[in-house]
Structure 1
Amino acid sequence: MTVRTPGRRAAAPWVRTRLRTAPGAAAALALLVAVTSFLAAALPLAIDRYDDAGLRRALETAGPDRTTVRLFAPPAGFAGEPDGQGADGREGDLRPDAMRDSHAAILAAAGRSLPLDPEQSSHGVRTTTGLPVPDPWLSRPDGLPPRLSLVAQDGLAGHARLRAGRLPGAGGAVTAATGTVEAAVSAETARKLGIGVGSVLHVPGLERAPLAVRVTGVVDPRAPRGAYWSTDPLLGSPGLVTVPGDPERRQYWTGALLLAPDAAPALLGTPGVPERYWHLAPDVSALHGHDLPRLTSAVASLVSGPLLRQARTAASPDTEADTSLDGVLADHARLRAALGPLVAVAVLGTGTVAAAVLLMAGGLAADRRRAELTLLRARGASLRGLAGRLLGETAVVAVPAAALGPAAALLTVRGARPAHSVAAAGVVALLACAALPLRAVAAHRAVRVHAVREDVVSARPSRRRTVAELTLLTLAVGAVVALRVRGVADGTRGPGAPDDPGASGDHLVSLAPVLVGMAAALVLVRLYPLPLRGLARAAGRLRGVVGPLSLARAGRASGSAVLPLTVLLTALTTAAFGGSVLSGVADARDRAAVLAVGADARVTSLRALPDGLADRVRRVPGVRAVTPVGIVYDAQPEDGRMTVPVAGVDPSGYAALARHTDLGAFDRDALGADGASGAKPLPALASPVVADHYGTRPFAVRLDDGAFVTVRIVLVRERTPALADQEFLVVDRSGLPAGSARPTSLLVTGDHPDAAVLREVAGGGTRVRVRAEELAAHVDSPLRSGAERVYAAAVAAGAGYAVLALLLTLLRAAPERAALLARLRTLGLTRAQGRRLLVLESLPQALLAAAGGVLTAWATVRLLSPGVDLTTVALSASPSPAGRVALRTDPVSLLVPALAVVALTVGVAVAQAWWTGRRGSVRELRAGDDR
């Protein structure tokens, strides 16, 4: 027996009692919140990860010569400018200590805004013009002496491996008058120019004798692709340069001689216009995509802003800066801006569905406990007290479950901003905790003894609901109209286009599917009772009992069906929109790959291919057919006003190839030569421009070997496999002269031809292009592929939440249906009739959701397609070889989710009827059952 202490109130253990009463519901809520919290927390981490990877790939692809920030300044007083220091002052500016101090100051100033890599950043002194070295033993391709730069760059010992000899030194105080200095050269420079250890090169002097440069060592770069060596490629590899304006196009070598930093003053004694330089290499591993605005601002400041002023203070007032890093960042920003709105479509759609499911779970719990909460209100419980207790019992379950989400996300998905994940999980926890109390407060504002029926057929929405629905409908229509007007005004430029990355239309694209889904749900819920009443009246005249009873039961469903229908329509719309985007991207990439290759693989050569190569290629694994093509690229028609490539083909095989690739399919008989000769023109397939120019009259074409052939255009096609991206003439090669008929290309058809074997069989002097490799080139972008993965994952998650919403909707009515079925069983209803009753009862809402989803998704894609350009998302090439990639409806994405809704509804109804029949009717008919 419990003894109560006088003067103290006994606190009822509400939360513990509720958790013990319904442990299954608490576990289900915890699981739902944990999964939702994980998805919400993983999303920003996944976006950050692919954004970071995309930025780093963009910088790595651009290379250090474009991403390094170059600062340069002439020595004080050089080129006749007074400095008040004389020659000693100019030489002092070039000495290692002065250069090292200025480099450290510049790194410290720039590193606070732009992450820099101190190991790959470099500084030194160099001649800005190549100096002709007249030594006759050096390599001279066209009899011209090489032009070499003198470079005294700090840190050579740490960035090079010594292959021969030793590193250069100064051997004392070097001045402008020094006659001999030491240098090293890269192994490639030594090999191509014929330089060895001990070689002495004589560089022209400025008002003095030539400077003798003795080579003391040959080095190999430790990291040849790093910024230390690649910012100025001549440090590691010489290059051939053509003499400007030379009609003979003679060439000479350019390269670099690597001096010791202490020998930098010797450059003042040469006519090479020496300058000091500081190369600032960004630390690619420390750059993040979300810092793109800050990085762009830092680069701009370093090129012409406050950071440049600080560099001038540390180095020289004449310091200037130059880089292409701002252009690389701008290109990345444009691609990022194009991908963002499309990814946001899936994210917002899935987020809306997930939020609605959490609200539905709270609503289901409130409906399940309606009698309990009604009794508490009738016994004097206040709304505040009731909401507080419900909030407490929900928070005990939801908050720990929500905390698991970011913890699991941080372990599985590495990201740079965990705070965003924690915030997203916090939103999920707040929504999960507030759903049940808010639903309970809304349903029990007034104290009632009996619950008011809200049948879908007889329910009359309140004025507040009508106003809210009209407001939402107006917003949806306004957003779509604004998007359409913007798309018409801007032509083909879609939201997120490079010249308008931050336009408000981007948000319209992202919100449009959700808004359209909500608006469609409101309209359908309003229209749904009309056909239901008509069907119910018509079914009342039927003899059977199942049809009329099922329609009557469908009409007695809950009138608050807006939220479940919104979930389903939003999920179906997002899935269809996402499927159309992914399908359009895949089709555009495949089309671009076909246009680039013209077949599944292609072997080309500038000259005629060897005899028997076609037979050897046919035996390569994965090859089904080989179509030889002889292409004359410089053929000239008789008027000589244009050059038209002429492709000689075998009509039968080439027609099959054109059908296979869908590039200008034609009838093979129309192109047959039929013994055509000079008197009878060859039938030709032409591009529209060529056909418009020459018409259908016969005309002569001069081939590259001087022979003439007469052709007549009989077919016109936009594209053809052999010359997909050019104007063309295609003729039967049996009617061409023997020299022009020899194949220069082999167009290969097959399932995944082995590229390695093809290259081995083709041999040297040929180029092999494979369709699969061209396709992979468009996919090989972390930003594109990462956005696609996030998009696909969001669409899949939205589909999962849609299924869960459908199950919650069916679960909400499951107890009442089970009780009805049990009672009807006692009246003689058979099991088959019970199954039909449940299926027919659930079909109207399922068909409403499916039909509404198909129509809404179709309308959304049609409405948004003028403002959505998938070219940037799909293809890496600019401009696109396939033209503008527009958004088109994908029938599979449109119909499969809708049919899945109907199938799942029918399956659940059949399963419930089977389970109810198996359990029997005793439990459902026991006394006191309030169902």
Structure 2
Amino acid sequence: MSVLAVLRRVRAYGGHFLLLAVLTLVTALLVTGLPRVADRLSGQGLREQLADLPGLRRDVLYQRPAEPQTGTSRVAATHRANLDSLLAGMPAPVREVVGERWYVADTEFGRLKGPELTADKGLFDLSLRTMTGLRESATLVDGRWPGEGADRAAPVETVLAEPVARQLGLRAGSRLRLALLDSDGREFSATTVAVVGLFRPVDAGGGAWDALPSALRLTPPVGDGQPFQMVGLTDDAGFDDRAAAGWAVSFGWRYRVDPGRLTPGRLDAVLDGIAQLDRERPAGLLLAQGVDIPLRQYADSLAAARTLLTIIAAGVLATLAGLTVLAARLAVRRRRDEYVLLRARGGSRTAVVRRGLAESVLVVPAAAVAGWLLGGLLPADPLGAGTPDAASRLTVLAAVLATLALPVAVLTGQRDGGGRRDLLRARGGAGRLTVEVTFIGLAALAAFLLRRRGLALGDEVDPLLVSVPVLLAVAAALLALRAYPWPLRLFSRLAARARGAVAFLGTARAGRVGVAAPLVVVVLAIATAAFCGVVAVGIEDGRDRAATRTVPADALVSGDRFAPDTATELAGLPGIRAVTPVLATPGQRLYADADGSPGGAGEAYVLLVEPAGFAEVARRSGLDPAVPAALRAGGDAATALPALVSPDFAAALADAGLADGAGRRPGWVDVQGNRLPFRIAGTAEEFPLIPGGTGRFLVLPWPGLPANAPHPLAPTGFLLAAGDAPVDPAALGRVAEEGQTRYQTSGAVTGGKRPLPPQVTTWAAERERLGGSGVNGLLVFGFATGAAGGGVLGLLALAFAVLAGARGRAQVLSRLRTMGLSRRQWRGLLLVELAPLVVVSVLTGAVVGALLPLLLNPVLGLSAFTGGAPVTVRFEPGLVVGVLGLALLALAFAVAVEAVNNRRMRLGEVLRLGEES
């Protein structure tokens, strides 16, 4: 066989080979491009999630506690050298992702006095600090830097932040006295401090200023009669002077992980390196870091996302493989006369197969190379390694299999006998039945083993997880093939008794058309698309529930304790339609009686809510958190309050013999100095406002205490409903902080630690946080690829199913047209014959796609995408509408393909030349 002869045959049957080439190109493109795009999206999500964290959450901090130093005169410089040595001692994966680093040395606080610090301003304590990167991170506003003068103005020269200096009335040139205080308040080890300059930070949010206490502002007193605290920046000479005087000094070396240096491929190595840091911590140093928590959370969500993407990719690639087989079989079927003639002229079966192989080799490998090159052009992770070797090997394998599809179809096509193959009785056969039963049994066994074994975590693809969805879809298609002709046969018998031949002929032909392979491919494609839709809806619902669990209203204001009138002030803000208080106290101990006898049930997270107000705020916010009827009844502190408890805490109470449902021996809990009795009215796995992972909690209705109670309950937060009006977090925070301050200064407490500012969290912000971080971009890409690819490939498979029986239908229609069948009846006959095929294939695929998440949910780890909230997978009504719309679209598409094919084949010529029956 010459190359020119092969080229002429390829040109003569260009449509068939073009279809094979396109399918091969798309397969190679997906195999090559999907890993690149997935790596880019996962790397981008990792870096964005880490960059959104506060800088301190990304720091690895070594600290040496404050203590006097002896034996060296250059304390600051000696410890500064550890900034490089500590980094060099880190494991290589951690060292490679460290970006910025800082060294800070602080003295203990001493009492600061001076002419400008008058008594009416209060008391002030000063700590001296030397740090790296000061001159790069700050700009002088007045004066000079310490140590730059011709002569030292004092043993200790310092610069202060401009806002601090202006607030205290200090300026460049101010001279102050700094001394330590003993337990009796007497001064010792005093020195003179000269303020030689004022500075302003280049970037107040930069990492150089994250050391605590802050050098940019005054730290308020922690109680009545306590001093303000401030930090002055000095040079090594000033710091060494105080260290030599016996002042206790502390040191810190801080290393910040740079998101721009992280890739998903390094995650495991970095996490192992961080764990190694604590095991190999240098003696005398303390280690503090929190970067491993967000990294582990991202690693878990990435593993779950890659599992989903693998299942989706397996479904799409299996569909493409089926389409390639269908395209090869269609090409062989259209050239069957050619192959029969070759055999009749003495050609061997091997020669015919070689002819098909030569034609395939000329087209398919080139298409695979083109797809590989196009996939390599897709954007990849800039920090990644490009196309993985596994993807290249899989591309070669796909190209080899696609090349062999045509010669294998030629070989199997020669073994098929003649005669009519569309009869219903031809659908049986012991051999085929054995194969189908074996395949269905294998699919069921694989699904059972997967649920028993669970997900095999690791970097490699789990073969069982990849194969189960494909096996189940094919098994469901085989069952549908066996089942759907029987109702058609019954309907055909009923139609035979009615007037008109369209319904009878259409159902009779639909019941005996052999379309096994195309129907399997259609079911596989639609199942992949439905799987994507169902899982996507389940994740969105899970995120909604997670956001509602955290913020069961339009907004949540949380803080320390608020004055009683804070609720009224919040309700008076524009747009606020309802407010209800909440009181949360973690770690409360249980008592056996009002006198405080130990109860023996341990501690629990206690939450007090106003049930009616809680339900009203949630309703006005458009949410529906479940509030049990037992809580809605409310309660009186004089009786046992109905309590909703977690199952673990309920078991502990039962073991202690407390708080049974009858309330004969109630349990007691202390809430802000009030001993409240309670009884178990119900159990729940979770409740809104209870932090996730809290296994022991107690929810009580807000008790009605007397007006003159010695310890009135002070809310620690408020739930607010704003309706359609936008929530103003700044206004809520301002009013809440005023209410918190009123409580601190109202006489209910004296002194005490200054509370942190209240936090305002809106439902919309919490929902956006859950849905817009981490691997969400990878999920959207996977679901979009699976849904769009499954839908398009399903329609293409339906086209193959239509074309597979096109010649037989064309002959029938040609005869019926000559017998007087009208064009309208002809379209009706097409519709009746094709509708069962389309409806059965689409509905079977949709049902399989909806059931797959229910089967695989325990091993998919979907809760990693919802902040830990469980994902409930269900078939939504919207998806039902979508499936029905897809079925109608598929039916219209099938009819259009048949009509176009009939016009192309010319029915009269089919009748004259296609006398196969």
TM-score range relative to shorter protein:
0.7 to 0.9
Seen in structure 2, the aligned counterparts of structure 1 residues 526 and 918 have a Cα distance that, compared at 3 Å, is: closer
Q: 1:220 aligns with which of 192, 200, 209?
A: 200
The one-letter amino acid paired with 2:892 is G
Partner of 2:752: none
Q: Does 1:903 align with 2:888?
A: yes
The CA distance in 1 between the partners of 2:905 and 2:11, in whole Å, is 27
Q: 1:585 aligns with which of 539, 543, 563?
A: 539
Q: 2:848 aligns with which of 849, 856, 867?
A: 856
The CA distance in 2 between the partners of 1:504 and 1:456, in whole Å, is 46
Q: Deviations over 1:550-600 (max 9, x none)?
A: 3443355336x24x3333333333333333322222223323334444444
Percent identical: 25
TM-score normalised by structure 2 residue count: 0.75
The one-letter amino acid paired with 1:361 is A
1:74-473 alignment, distance < 5 Å: 87=71, 90-91=72-73, 95=77, 113-114=93-94, 120-123=100-103, 126-127=105-106, 130-135=108-113, 146=125, 148-151=127-130, 153-169=131-147, 180-187=155-162, 190=165, 196-198=171-173, 199-202=175-178, 210-230=190-210, 234-237=214-217, 239=219, 242=222, 251-261=226-236, 265-266=240-241, 268-274=243-249, 278-300=253-275, 304=279, 323-376=289-342, 379=345, 380=347, 382=351, 385-395=354-364, 398-399=367-368, 401-403=370-372, 405-410=374-379, 416-417=383-384, 419-420=386-387, 424=391, 427=394, 431=398, 434-435=401-402, 437-444=404-411, 454-455=421-422, 457-459=424-426, 472-473=439-440
Q: Deviations over 1:326-359 (max 9, x none)?
A: 4443333233334332343323323322333333
Structure 1 unpaired stretches of 5+: 1-9, 81-86, 243-247, 488-494
* C-alpha displacement of 1:285: 0.9
The one-letter amino acid paired with 1:54 is G
* C-alpha displacement of 1:778: 1.9
The one-letter amino acid paired with 2:468 is A
The CA distance in 2 between the partners of 1:229 and 1:507, in whole Å, is 51
Q: Does 1:799 align with 2:799?
A: no
Q: Deviations over 1:33-86 (max 9, x none)?
A: 5555544444323322332233324433444434333456899x9967xxxxxx
Matched-pair contact (CA < 8 Å) for 1:651–1:732: no
Seen in structure 2, the aligned counterparts of structure 1 residues 684 and 512 have a Cα distance that, compared at 3 Å, is: same
Structure 2 unpaired stretches of 5+: 597-603, 651-657, 692-696, 740-758
The one-letter amino acid paired with 2:701 is L
Q: Deviations over 1:90-120 (max 9, x none)?
A: 4468548x956x6556667769644658872
Seen in structure 2, the aligned counterparts of structure 1 residues 571 and 652 have a Cα distance that, compared at 3 Å, is: closer
Matched-pair contact (CA < 8 Å) for 2:24–2:402: no
Matched-pair contact (CA < 8 Å) for 1:363–1:435: no
Counterpart secondary structure, 2:40: helix
The CA distance in 2 between the partners of 1:684 and 1:103, in whole Å, is 58
The one-letter amino acid paired with 1:202 is L
Counterpart secondary structure, 1:781: coil
Q: Deviations over 1:597-624 (max 9, x none)?
A: 444456897432587975763xx4xx8x
Q: 2:874 aligns with which of 884, 889, 892?
A: 889
Seen in structure 2, the aligned counterparts of structure 1 residues 471 and 719 have a Cα distance that, compared at 3 Å, is: closer
Between 1:464-473 and 1:44-53, the stretch displaced more is 464-473
Matched-pair contact (CA < 8 Å) for 1:629–1:649: no
The one-letter amino acid paired with 1:874 is T
The one-letter amino acid paired with 1:222 is V
Q: Does 1:484 align with 2:451?
A: yes
Partner of 1:492: none
The one-letter amino acid paired with 1:518 is V
The CA distance in 1 between the partners of 2:682 and 2:438, in whole Å, is 58
Q: Deviations over 1:693-713 (max 9, x none)?
A: 78699x9x9999999999999
* C-alpha displacement of 1:874: 1.4
1:589-738 alignment, distance < 5 Å: 589-601=543-555, 606-608=563-565, 617=574, 620=575, 626-627=577-578, 629=580, 645=608, 647=610, 657=620, 661=624, 663-664=626-627, 727-729=699-701
* C-alpha displacement of 1:402: 1.0
* C-alpha displacement of 1:753: 3.4
The CA distance in 1 between the partners of 2:279 and 2:832, in whole Å, is 73
Between 1:545-554 and 1:346-355, the stretch displaced more is 545-554
Give the root-mean-square deviation of aligned CA atoms: 5.7
Seen in structure 2, the aligned counterparts of structure 1 residues 235 and 685 have a Cα distance that, compared at 3 Å, is: same
* C-alpha displacement of 1:209: 5.1
* C-alpha displacement of 1:659: 8.7
The one-letter amino acid paired with 2:261 is A
Partner of 1:753: 726
The one-letter amino acid paired with 2:139 is R
Matched-pair contact (CA < 8 Å) for 1:601–1:770: yes
The CA distance in 2 between the partners of 1:33 and 1:862, in whole Å, is 33
Counterpart secondary structure, 1:793: helix
The CA distance in 2 between the partners of 1:612 and 1:123, in whole Å, is 46
Counterpart secondary structure, 2:794: helix
Q: Deviations over 1:172-226 (max 9, x none)?
A: 999xxx9813333344554677654334453559999545443322323334434
* C-alpha displacement of 1:398: 1.4
The CA distance in 1 between the partners of 2:102 and 2:480, in whole Å, is 68
The CA distance in 1 between the partners of 2:254 and 2:611, in whole Å, is 54
Partner of 2:473: 517
* C-alpha displacement of 1:825: 0.8
The CA distance in 2 between the partners of 1:762 and 1:238, in whole Å, is 23
The CA distance in 2 between the partners of 1:711 and 1:274, in whole Å, is 52
The one-letter amino acid paired with 1:346 is I
The one-letter amino acid paired with 2:111 is V
Q: Deviations over 1:493-550 (max 9, x none)?
A: xx59xxxx55999775555323321332344445556666666677667665444433
Counterpart secondary structure, 1:133: strand
The one-letter amino acid paired with 1:148 is S
Q: Deviations over 1:746-771 (max 9, x none)?
A: 74353363547975997974776543
Matched-pair contact (CA < 8 Å) for 1:201–1:213: yes
Q: Deviations over 1:430-472 (max 9, x none)?
A: 5366436424324426867975765474457899877775665
Matched-pair contact (CA < 8 Å) for 1:365–1:436: no
The one-letter amino acid paired with 2:271 is T
Matched-pair contact (CA < 8 Å) for 2:522–2:845: yes
Matched-pair contact (CA < 8 Å) for 2:32–2:395: no
The CA distance in 2 between the partners of 1:706 and 1:301, in whole Å, is 45
Matched-pair contact (CA < 8 Å) for 1:599–1:771: yes
Between 1:199-208 and 1:15-24, the stretch displaced more is 199-208
* C-alpha displacement of 1:292: 1.0
Matched-pair contact (CA < 8 Å) for 1:133–1:148: no
Counterpart secondary structure, 1:162: strand
TM-score normalised by structure 1 residue count: 0.74
The CA distance in 1 between the partners of 2:358 and 2:891, in whole Å, is 38
The one-letter amino acid paired with 2:876 is P
* C-alpha displacement of 1:806: 1.9
The CA distance in 2 between the partners of 1:36 and 1:337, in whole Å, is 24
The one-letter amino acid paired with 1:557 is V
Question: Alignment length, in residue pairs?
Answer: 853
Seen in structure 2, the aligned counterparts of structure 1 residues 831 and 916 have a Cα distance that, compared at 3 Å, is: farther
Q: 1:779 aligns with which of 760, 771, 776?
A: 771
Matched-pair contact (CA < 8 Å) for 1:869–1:885: no
Partner of 1:7: none
Counterpart secondary structure, 2:821: coil
The one-letter amino acid paired with 2:298 is H
Seen in structure 2, the aligned counterparts of structure 1 residues 816 and 168 have a Cα distance that, compared at 3 Å, is: farther
The one-letter amino acid paired with 2:443 is A
Seen in structure 2, the aligned counterparts of structure 1 residues 461 and 190 have a Cα distance that, compared at 3 Å, is: farther
The CA distance in 2 between the partners of 1:319 and 1:342, in whole Å, is 43
